[in-house]
A and B are shown apart, each in its own frame.
Chain A
């Protein structure tokens, strides 16, 4: 069974600073994908970044990067130059079995990030 663990219920960061949100995962599958979603107070889930298990390079999308350490089974999200609009709930998720019927996402409990001026 797959499991995602986010150990930080809340994080605080000052505007313009970088912040790392932790995510560890557990799976016996060789092929899987890791996702980060952002959920602002309005409620919608916004896709941020994706990392495939066979990708050799860490994924980057603008100010978001994913620090993927396969041996440690961690997929931490790094947000550089935090902005006030980054204040939100952040969810790490995993999808196992890239070419099978198992397309469901398994989520962690989330980390609430608060960016202060």
Chain B
């Protein structure tokens, strides 16, 4: 059983950066970030291996999306810079249980990020 606990809601101005956290309880192979704009579907942002630290980012977000991890606290951080109003969404961390599972078995509760112009 894995539990993912995310940080609280954020309100930012356009152009700012936001840093969100996801604390992992239990063990997972990879940790992904996915976002859902209000009333919309899901968009995949990137992946980090909490153990080795390796990352892969969706091409759309390369250059302004960064994932890091702190192994001492089992916490993963995502930072999104140069925020735009269209980045307003609920951001989820979600776990991939094993190498090339290609699905997400546990989800955090989500963090709402609101970006105003």
Binding partners A and B: no
